[in-house]
Structure 1
Amino acid sequence: MIKNFAELDLDPNLLSAIEEMGFKRPTQVQAQAIPQALDGRDILASAPTGTGKTAAFVLPALQYLQDFPRRKPGPARVLILTPTRELAMQVADQARALAKNTKLNIFTITGGVQYQEHADILATTQDIVVATPGRLMEYIKAERFDCRAIEWLVLDEADRMLDMGFGPTVDHLSQECRWRKQTLLFSATLEGKGVEGFTADLLKDPADIDAEPSRSERKKITQWYHRADNAEHKLALLKKIITEQAERSIVFLKTRERLADLRTELEKAQIPCAWIQGEMPQDRRNNAIARFRDGTVNVLLATDVAARGIDLPDVSHVINYDMPRSADVYLHRIGRTARAGKKGNAISIVEAHDQQMMDRVARYVKEDIKERFIKEMRPTHKKPVFKKKKKDDKKKSATKAKKKPSKKK
């Protein structure tokens, strides 16, 4: 097992940048992906947010560009696709920090930027371009972006790109970059649509990497839940937690309507908060994230669609006000806390109908998620218990149903 970055065959200029950024030892996904990528393999990696995946593809890309330096100025050699503009900015910022001791140029091409700004970038020498699929496709169609020089294609949060309907665009971009040497695909999950939504020829004999956060990485997140009798009790518990226990919290809700209702309740209680939700104008979204980032507000309400791909430092608590629709989304959510080696907390506030999902989540994360109580706010209802039906029971109940005589005379 690789214990430190020095074992990864990286240039001293990259190692000193890593040290300055405070990275102590490679995370699981970095230790697995970097050597394979440097060996020239395609990569298919399952790596949830918060596992250090950005450095897992940026470091080998930077090393490659230094091992095979360009002979003359020209267009980008590494293309990184991300589903959202925020994620593109974050990836580019991290890439610049890691490349600070090199002369490599890193640019972003995303929506919400004036055409002229991009035209200026595309006229200069680029080494790495981080882009969102839609906007990049516009420039390719206008013959403003040259894909023939691309040697590495990286897809970050590939499952999210499919969720957002970018599958056909990504396939088209893959075709445009057909002269490339390597493809690296990173996705939070590899099941279901995770990869099957793309064409089969995207990757050639890839190295399979499954970097679920290790138990020790997940141990940094303390998880527990509170039971609520009803909506009023649930709201009272949340107010208590965010005003007395949590320093900086992200509160997750399942729909925009639920978010709007909670926002109104918190405003009534004079608890300042910011919020992000799907289909929100970019400037308002940026403003909300900035207010939370700089500490103007310490509570951020979010829906799952809106929260993917944003990296917020120093989140002390993730609160599931609504339980997610699946256990892997729960893992995504709680990955917003305990980042960069810090500790964090994940709290779920569950009503009786949520208990089954809570049990499912505990099985999925292979941990016993304990129930906690707040004095004077204990639930009055009995905790529901769900017995797993065994196959034999199912058969018995099916035969019983068949045998039941008809009530009609």
Structure 2
Amino acid sequence: MPTHTPEEQLSHRIGDAISHFDVDCVNWAKENFLFGGVGLDMRFSEELSNYRNQIKRSIGVEPLGNDHFGGFLCSCLGKKCLYLPKIRELLVRYELALFPNRQQRFLSLFKLADEEEKTIIDFTKAMNWRMGSTSSKKFLHELRLPVSLADSPIDGSRSMVELINPYRAPHPLLEFQETVKKKALYALDRLGRCLVVMPTGAGKTRTAIQTLGEFFASNHTEFNGLIWIADRDELCEQAAESFSALLPFIVQQPIPLWRYWGGRGIEISENDDGIFVEGIVVTSHQQMQRRLAKNDPIAEAIIDSAKAIVIDEAHRWLDWNEALTSKVADINPNCKIVGLTATPYRRESRDNSRLVDTYARSLITPYDEAMKNPQFTLEKLTHERILAKRVDITPLDLGVNISSDSTPMIRMSEGLDMIKNLLQHGRKSVIVFTESVDQAKQLSICLNMEGVKSAYLDSETPPNSRRRAISRFRDGEIFVLLNYMILTTGFDAPKIDAVLVLRKNNTEDLPVINQMIGRGLRGPLFGGTEDCYVVLR
């Protein structure tokens, strides 16, 4: 049975109340808070007016119909709309219209002597609405609304609630992943380095971690001194999450996992051989390049004491990767080096040669045929239904002509048209990566007002609300899930059948774009879809 957030329950109640009284919603909203409300309503007039005007210019229609007004208001303000006296009045009038005998309960709640309905309404409008107060919570209880709508914000860095996830052992590697692991182990023993080539969505990170775990175990070495270098913070976080999920089933002792990117520091240890970093270090190419260039002693210690280095997206930053691997060969010759890439072939043939030379010309692919035909692995895994068939769709295929000289409002309008046309093409689970937080929020508001169930997530979405939205998206209760840089990695919704990327720079050579596309490429063998539409703005 579908569940609804407290904000959704509030928006439904407001919408029902407006419809029940047959109010001219547009004029009522303009008069009371969109264009010059009175009293306490004024504090929200500018914010509501701003959203309303943006939406109207974007979709060219009047958004404030009775059916969608509650959703519009709560999308703009959330539970803050209960500060508005006119909203509290509307809810009480609606409750008394449905259940006249509840008048006595309100009189008792407010301790009012006069038994006239007007007295209740006047008190409701004048009450001092305070989050966390007992009177506010009792008021919501009498309206049959969640009392959590009156909860006070929680101070401090810790959330009020923490999610405890089930502890599940990872699935065994698939046959093609086992093949990669065995080839890589052989190459590391014989040559000390290799380049693993696997398509996006095939599990490069999982396979690499498993491979190194077995390598350390076979050499009776602690799973320690591993450096994972990724391009961009999002891929660093994905790698760190993968280590957190897999290491409990690989290591025998606790081991530190360092998030050494985004300006973060790290602790060092010292023994007879000098300083070193204990544990696993996940870092970004950008941070390591800057700090090594400045001869930072901690960055130098990370490289000097490494037992193995993994370079994700190894085809990028080729000059620096060559210099790093050459330096490692000079100062730490026993260190193993593994490169990971989905796209090893460069535009210049000379760069292809440089890349494979960096990894001792040891290319590891799941299938030998892929050495001659780079598309073989992708085609094979798609044929075996491990990956979904990727169907590239242009905006023009969806009837949208992209403007070359656009504004944020024009791009939002284009994005809205593309989303609606994807749904008209039979897509049932669409994930949208927007160019900004504002665009995600505004598109979600527009879709919901047009009757399309959607949700948006940003960095400030509370964990519980994020979990609920994702759960509803997975269960098919929400058709469109919008986000800005939240769901690029570490997110799994097998039934996604369309990926829409609205970023202005959608070059597929950007790792993050491949990660976005990969969200929709889970095949039917793993509970995914047969195909996935991919649209890059």
Q: TM-score, normalised by structure 2?
A: 0.46
Shift in Å at residue 265 of structure 1?
Answer: 4.3
Structure 1: distance between partners of 2:488 and 2:358:
23
Give the conservation status (yes or no) of the 8 Å contact 1:266–1:272: yes
Alignment-derived partner of residue 364 in structure 1: none
Task: State the identity %.
Answer: 14
Amino acid at match of 2:201: G
Higher mean Cα deviation, 46-55 or 133-142? 133-142
Q: Are 1:52 and 2:203 matched, yes or no?
A: yes
> Which residue matches 1:221?
388
Distance 2:281 2:492 in 1: 25
CA apart distance, 1:97: 3.4
Moved more, 120-129 or 105-114: 120-129
Residues 162-221 of structure 1: CA distance to partner in whole angstroms, max 9, x if unpaired?
Answer: 2xxx44443443244222443221111111169649666521131342443613454653
Contact 1:107 1:121 in 2 (8 A): no
**What does residue 248 of structure 2 align with?**
100
Equivalent residues of 1:155, 1:184 under 8 A apart: yes
Aligned residues: 308
Task: Tell me the equivalent position of 1:129.
Answer: 281
Partner of 2:70: none
The residue identity in structure 2 corresponding to 1:109 is R
1:109 equivalent to 2:259? Answer yes
Instruction: Note if contact 1:86-1:309 (Cα within 8 Å) is conserved in structure 2.
Output: yes
Report the AA paired with residue 347 of structure 1: Y
Equivalent position SS for 1:158: coil
- Cα distance, 1:338 vs. partner? 4.9
The reply on whether 1:312 has 2:491 as its aligned counterpart is yes
Q: Deviations along 1:82-134, whole A, 9 cap, x unmatched?
A: 1133322332332343332423525233333643xx22689886243222123
Give 1:35 shift: 1.0
Q: Does 1:267 align with 2:445?
A: yes
**Amino acid across the alignment from 1:151:** K
Give the match for residue 239 of structure 1. 420
Which whole-Å CA distance do the structure 1 matches of 2:424 and 2:464 have between them?
Answer: 18
Which of these residues, 200, 206, 210, is aligned with residue 362 of structure 2? 206
Who is 1:35 aligned against? 182
Equivalent residue, structure 1, for 2:218:
67
The amino acid that maps onto 1:112 is G
Report the Cα offset of residue 45 of structure 1.
2.4
**2:258·2:279 contact (CA, 8 Å) conserved in 1?**
no
- 2:226 and 2:308 in contact (8 A); partners too: yes
3-state DSSP of counterpart to 2:215: helix
1:342 alignment partner in structure 2: 527
Q: CA deviation at 1:313?
A: 1.1
1:233 Cα deviation from its structure 2 partner: 9.5
Q: How far apart, CA to CA, are the structure 1 residues paired with 2:311 and 2:252?
A: 24
Match of 2:307 among 134, 151, 158: 151
- Find 2:233's aligned residue among 77, 81, 85: 85
Question: RMSD across aligned C-alpha pairs, in angstroms?
Answer: 4.6
Cα deviation, residue 287, structure 1: 4.5
- Contact 2:196–2:341 (CA<8 Å) still a contact in 1? yes
Structure ranking higher on relative contact order (CA contacts 8 Å, 6+ apart) = 1
State the distance in 2 between where 1:193 and 1:69 align. Answer: 42
> Which residue is 2:342 aligned to?
188
Deviation for aligned residue 1:251: 2.1
Shift of 1:46: 2.2
Quote the Cα distance in structure 1 between the aligned partners of 2:267 and 2:501. Answer: 44
Q: Distance in 1 between matches of 2:399 and 2:509?
A: 23
Q: Indicate yes or no: 2:455 matched with 1:251.
A: no
Cα distance between partner residues in 1 of 2:268 and 2:496: 42
Q: TM-score, normalised by structure 1?
A: 0.58
Deviations 1:280-307 (A, max 9, x none): xxxx6x557968962436544468xx68
In 2, the alpha carbon distance for the partners of 1:87 and 1:67 equals 28
Does the CA-based 8 Å contact 1:76-1:149 persist in structure 2? no
Which protein has the bigger helix share? 2
| Cα distance change, pair 121–55 in 1 and its aligned pair in 2 (3 A) | farther
Larger-gyration structure (1/2): 2
**Offset of 1:151 from its aligned partner?**
3.0
Q: Map of 1:300-379 to 2, 5 A cutoff?
A: 300-301=481-482, 310-321=489-500, 333-339=516-522, 341-344=526-529, 345-347=531-533
Unaligned runs of 5+ in 1: 1-18, 276-283, 355-409
* CA–CA separation in structure 2 for the residues paired with 1:315 and 1:247: 12
Task: Give the letter aligned to residue 309 of structure 2.
Answer: L
Per-residue CA deviations over 1:2-23 (Å, capped at 9, x if unaligned) read: xxxxxxxxxxxxxxxxx95341
3-state SS of the aligned residue for 2:214?
helix
Distance 2:464 2:260 in 1: 22
